[in-house]
């Protein structure tokens, strides 16, 4: 017994010193919760990248199944088009479709400023000028409620001059074990009331990595799913020990599908790469013309050569995808779009194709659908149908009592359906 007590004491010292001496945590100084915000509940928004809608059942993720059974379980959540990581994480926190918030792909070209955005570029990922809309953490901080992020797309950038009070640069991803990340969350929740964040975003990449590398049906993907499940179990246990009214939302940005790797699609030879800017992309290839007069002739040629892919102009994309010319608020959608026919993707010459991919139209390919589970004092116990991910924003703003007067693409219908509290809806 004594040994255990000493062990626990040493562990708490270690955790304490870990939080005190964490040089990677970025802290915006001189912020505090207003008295009114201190009375509000808490939300932990967890994204497990690529956690397909059926993974919890398929791989018997016991903690997630039990927790969602006590709260909200959606049949699936429908990602916005394209079903890629950056557009969808940013849709979740802005309530806007990608064409409206501006992160229209993982890589894209802005025709107005003539620059390429890259998910791999520190200078683009951390630059607020790329990000439209009002992310939830900005909405909260503007109303004197503190927020924290253990990663989220956009959280490193000053959007409307505002970052979360506590955040990490994604480059630190390799530096933390999952247990350390959970400890950081607990530490945040144990800060004095005026310094304690009410919204915490948390991101885990493992399931997406395994899904790409081994495919959605592989034992490695099962392991990754069960690893996330164990982490959630630990986090919930550690967080409930704080006794705070914490609401959990566990979701994903998109799903994952098996690719037929026997066929490699390459950029059609008719595309003259000196006449178009072509950012990276395998499930959606966007061509941006340097000269407008080159668009139609190439489009017509490509239409005649469609084999295992389709060619679109942004004027003839299906309206329900909200990825048309008329949706393109920031002038960032390609002039010609090449979309592979499932289950194929485009390939880079000399590179092996991954057996798992996403990015496809979620209304045609169900494998693109994501998980949505939620539990905690604000949530009813209910099973619901599939819904679009732009509707998560009103749920979180209602739980935290954060009004907004601007227009978003999501509606309050989901919040009304799944929340016990209705006052601010």
With a CB cutoff of 8 Å and minimum separation 6, the contacts of 64 are: 56, 228, 229, 232, 250, 373
Q: Which helix (H) or strand (E) holds 336?
A: strand 336-340
Q: Using CB under 5 A, which of 31, 43, 48, 49 touches Zn ion?
A: 49
Q: Where are the alpha helices (DSSP H) in 49-102?
A: 55-58, 62-69, 85-94, 98-101
Q: Applying CB under 6 A, which part among 18-26, 69-77, 129-137, 204-212 lies near ligand AMP?
A: 204-212
How far is 72 from 159, CA to CA, in rounded Å?
31
Contact 269, 284 (CB under 8 A): no
How far is 7 from 384, CA to CA, in rounded Å?
45
Which of ligand AMP, Zn ion, none does residue 153 bind to, with CB < 5 to 8 Å depending on kind?
ligand AMP
Which of Zn ion, ligand AMP, none does residue 295 bind to, with CB < 5 to 8 Å depending on kind?
none
Q: Applying CB under 5 A, which part among 19-27, 200-208, 271-279, 391-399 lies near Zn ion?
A: 200-208
Contact 45, 202 (CB under 8 A): yes
Residue of 276, 342, 252 lying closest to 54 (CA atoms): 252
253 near Zn ion, judged by CB under 5 A:
yes
354 near ligand AMP, judged by CB under 6 A:
no
Least Å from the CB of residue 416 to Zn ion? 29
Pairing of strands 336-340, 285-289: antiparallel
Residues in 36-75 that interact with ligand AMP by CB under 6 A: 49
Q: Applying CB under 6 A, which part among 19-27, 203-211, 307-315, 393-401 lies near ligand AMP?
A: 203-211
Residue of 56, 397, 83 lying closest to 257 (CA atoms): 83
Which of ligand AMP, Zn ion, none does residue 99 bind to, with CB < 5 to 8 Å depending on kind?
none
Pairing of strands 372-375, 72-74: antiparallel
208 near ligand AMP, judged by CB under 6 A:
yes
Residues in 84-143 that interact with ligand AMP by CB under 6 A: 84-85, 106, 119, 125
How far is 93 from 89, CA to CA, in rounded Å?
7
205 near ligand AMP, judged by CB under 6 A:
yes
Cα dist from 85 to 116, 301, 360, 369, whole Å: 17, 31, 12, 13
Least Å from the CB of residue 147 to ligand AMP? 15
x/- track of binding to ligand AMP for residues 156-195 (CB under 6 A): --------------x-------------------------
Which of Zn ion, ligand AMP, none does residue 119 bind to, with CB < 5 to 8 Å depending on kind?
ligand AMP
Least Å from the CB of residue 194 to ligand AMP? 28
How far is 60 from 183, CA to CA, in rounded Å?
26
Position of tokens 């359906």? 417
Q: Which residues bind Zn ion (CB under 5 A)?
A: 49, 85, 208, 253
* Residues near ligand AMP, by CB under 6 A: 49, 84-85, 106, 119, 125, 151, 153, 170, 203, 205, 208-209
């Amino acid at each position: 017994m004594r040994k255990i007590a000493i062990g626990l004491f040493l562990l708490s010292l270690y955790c304490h010193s870990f939080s005190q001496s964490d040089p990677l945590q970025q802290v915006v100084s001189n912020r505090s919760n207003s008295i009114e915000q201190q009375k509000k509940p808490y939300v932990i928004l967890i994204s497990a990248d690529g956690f397909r809608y059926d993974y919890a059942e398929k791989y018997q993720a016991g903690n997630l199944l039990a927790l969602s059974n006590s709260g909200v379980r959606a049949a699936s959540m429908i990602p916005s088009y394209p079903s890629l990581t950056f557009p969808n994480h940013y849709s979740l926190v802005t309530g806007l479709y990608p064409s409206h918030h501006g992160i229209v792909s993982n890589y894209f070209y802005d025709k107005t400023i003539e620059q390429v955005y890259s998910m791999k570029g520190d200078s683009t990922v951390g630059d607020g000028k790329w990000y439209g809309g009002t992310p939830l953490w900005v909405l909260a901080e503007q109303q004197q409620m503190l927020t924290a992020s253990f990663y989220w797309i956009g959280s490193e950038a000053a959007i409307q001059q505002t970052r979360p009070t506590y955040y990490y640069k994604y480059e630190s991803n390799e530096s933390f074990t999952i247990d350390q990340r959970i400890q950081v969350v607990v530490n945040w929740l144990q800060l004095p009331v005026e310094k304690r964040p009410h919204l915490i975003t948390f991101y885990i990449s493992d399931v997406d990595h395994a899904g790409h590398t081994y495919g959605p049906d592989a034992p490695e993907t099962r392991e990754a799913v069960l690893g996330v499940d164990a982490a959630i179990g630990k986090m919930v246990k550690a967080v409930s020990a704080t006794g705070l009214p914490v609401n959990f939302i566990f979701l994903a940005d998109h799903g994952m599908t098996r690719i037929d790797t026997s066929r490699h699609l390459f950029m059609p030879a008719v595309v003259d790469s000196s006449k178009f800017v072509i950012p990276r992309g395998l499930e959606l290839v966007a061509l941006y013309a340097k000269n407008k007069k080159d668009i139609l002739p190439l489009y017509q040629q490509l239409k005649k050569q469609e084999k295992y892919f389709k060619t679109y102009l942004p004027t003839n994309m299906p309206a329900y995808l909200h990825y048309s010319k008329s949706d393109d608020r920031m002038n960032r959608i390609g002039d010609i779009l090449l979309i592979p026919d499932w289950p194929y993707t485009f390939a880079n010459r000399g590179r092996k194709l991954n057996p798992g991919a996403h990015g496809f139209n979620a209304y045609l390919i169900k494998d693109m659908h994501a998980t949505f589970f939620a539990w905690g004092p604000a949530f009813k116990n209910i099973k619901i149908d599939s819904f679009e991910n732009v509707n998560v924003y009103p749920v979180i703003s209602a739980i935290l009592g954060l009004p907004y007067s601007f227009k978003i693409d999501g509606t309050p219908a989901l919040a009304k359906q799944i929340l016990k509290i209705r006052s601010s809806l």
